[in-house]
Structure 1
Amino acid sequence: MATIEFNNVGRTFHQGDQSFVALKGVNLEVGDREFVAIVGPSGCGKTTCMRMAAGLEQPSAGNVRVDREVITKPGPDRAVVFQQFALFPWKTVWENIEFGLHSLRVPAKECTQRIEQYIALMGLSGYEKAFPHQLSGGMQQRVAIARAYVLDPKVLLMDEPFGALDAQTRVAMQEELVRLARRHPRTVLFITHAVDEAVYLADRVVVMSRRPGTVREIIDVKSIREAEQWDALPCIEDVMDQPAFVRLRTQIGKLLREQQGRGVH
């Protein structure tokens, strides 16, 4: 698969005669098939990190590498899932999931097999001919995730993918993503404002400082999750009731409050 490396990354934005430093000296490595979530105050550069890993933006200093290759542009080895579902409204569920496969020149038979696999995995069976406006927000995001996974990318980049969903649907999608990530692991960089979501989903949680953003602290969740056997618990509410989960959530929340000087997002 692949690793993601941020090597002394900085990003400065210019607006007319003014400029501001969004990121400074970011060093981070996401391991092969590791799920890493980034949390931090608003404006700390979380999304900018994701966009640079996607090749949608370039750093002003340092570099971002995937599998030791410096990223200069988007590529098929990296798939992105945004907060807004970004589906083609004139295409059906099947056609939206199929879209990226055309550029990869996947043979027709394999293309059909892949689409059928992820339609089934994401609970979209029976909706193949539906258009996005006929689906709920949660269903639309399932299509967006299926469209990313069907490309078989080395890296999955997710920018607050559940931020636009209602609370109940968000929980359902978090559980769905955990199931999918365990069954079909990818190297994942996940951006979120929600501490609970980060601790529930990730192997490690990166806490960023206020602007200019840099890595404040990295919290290991995977070893605790495995020791406490969270994956054996039936639902997210049971995981969140675990003393170790509460302790991690409190620790990360305190770090964020130190950076924000106010309540956690």
Structure 2
Amino acid sequence: MGSIRFQNVDKVFGASQAGVKVLDDINLEIGEKEFVAIVGPSGCGKTTCLRMVAGFEAPSSGTITVSGKVVSEPGPDRAVVFQQFALFPWKTVRENIDLGLRNKNLPAAERDRLIADALKLMNLESHAGAFPHQLSGGMQQRVAIARAYVLDPDVLLMDEPFGALDAQTRVVMQEELVRLARVNPRTVLFITHAVEEAVYLADRVAIMTRRPGRIKEVLDIKSVRLAENWDRFARIEDVMDQESFVHLRTQIWKSLREEKGAQGV
């Protein structure tokens, strides 16, 4: 469960004649428990792709399916992590994680077990009673990810989730997400402007053209990662020093520069 398929997807905002075409004939398949990152110039429709998978937007034409079912609205099989943490400031870490579970009408004992598992997964056990204002940005995003994971979704949709973090915290969260992807894999669609982040995290990277966005090419990162055994390194800087990593990063940057040049990518 959890495969995603874009089939001949177009998206136009506004009236048909005066509207703005954002996406043009998007075709992309994401396999079960595969981590795919989308990069592309600003305004190319990356986030629109994610919002359509989430069910927040509808394609103007074409279809999007998750687990073989056409997406027509949001559903519990998909969880979204946004750039802004979107935590309720008057609720504790535990209460924020519990929100989605309450909507599922689970018994209290079952909710307690699932929350405990999510807190442990994200190393938040000692912060369960804290309020968001008492946490760093990185810790708040951990809570947001825990809130998504606790619902046990087939698909995790992440829209530049580390974009609001400082550089050092962003690196820590990237390493944390790699750990999660290994120990508790989900199908992940990850939107980012950061090329290094995409190469480090993803199994494949889809590169989009300038608007109207199309899939220009898709690079297989996982085969390189496995061949070079990047997982033997505990730190991102050690992976980024590898010749294979540098080659992939450069390849993506060249492709993006062809679309929009150095400015605005």
* TM-score (norm. length: structure 1): 0.97
Q: Pairwise CA RMSD of aligned residues? A: 1.3
Higher alpha-carbon deviation: 158-167 or 255-264: 255-264
Partner of 1:49: 49
Give me the whole-angstrom Cα distance separating, in 2, the residues matched to 1:238 and 1:78: 33
In the TM superposition, what whole-angstrom CA distance separates every residue of 1:186-225 from its partner, at most 9, and x where no partner exists?
0000000000000000000000000000100000000000
3-state DSSP class of the match of 2:29? strand
Runs of 4+ in 1 over 4 A off after TM superposition: none
The Cα shift of 1:17 comes to 7.8
3-state DSSP class of the match of 2:59? coil
In the TM superposition, what whole-angstrom CA distance separates every residue of 1:14-66 from its partner, at most 9, and x where no partner exists?
17983110001000000000000000000000000000000000010101100
Give me the whole-angstrom Cα distance separating, in 2, the residues matched to 1:213 and 1:89: 37
Q: Is the contact made by 1:93 and 1:131 (CA closer than 8 Å) also made in structure 2?
A: yes
In the TM superposition, what whole-angstrom CA distance separates every residue of 1:109-128 from its partner, at most 9, and x where no partner exists?
22111111111221212211
Listed as ranges, the gaps of 5+ residues in structure 1 are none
Partner of 1:74: 74
| Pairing 1:228–2:228 present | yes
Partner of 2:257: 257
Give me the whole-angstrom Cα distance separating, in 2, the residues matched to 1:114 and 1:195: 34
Q: Aligned runs of 1:231-242 on 2, under 5 Å?
A: 231-242=231-242
Give me the whole-angstrom Cα distance separating, in 1, the residues matched to 2:202 and 2:259: 21
- Taking every aligned residue pair, what percent have the same amino acid on both sides? 65
Higher alpha-carbon deviation: 128-137 or 208-217: 128-137
Q: Is the contact made by 2:42 and 2:264 (CA closer than 8 Å) also made in structure 1?
A: no
Partner of 1:100: 100
Partner of 1:136: 136
3-state DSSP class of the match of 1:84? coil
Q: Is the contact made by 2:204 and 2:219 (CA closer than 8 Å) also made in structure 1?
A: yes
Listed as ranges, the gaps of 5+ residues in structure 2 are none
The Cα shift of 1:263 comes to 4.5
Q: How many residues align?
A: 265
Partner of 1:86: 86
Q: Aligned runs of 1:62-211 on 2, under 5 Å?
A: 62-211=62-211
The change in CA–CA distance for 1:263 and 1:254 in structure 2 (over 3 A counts) is farther
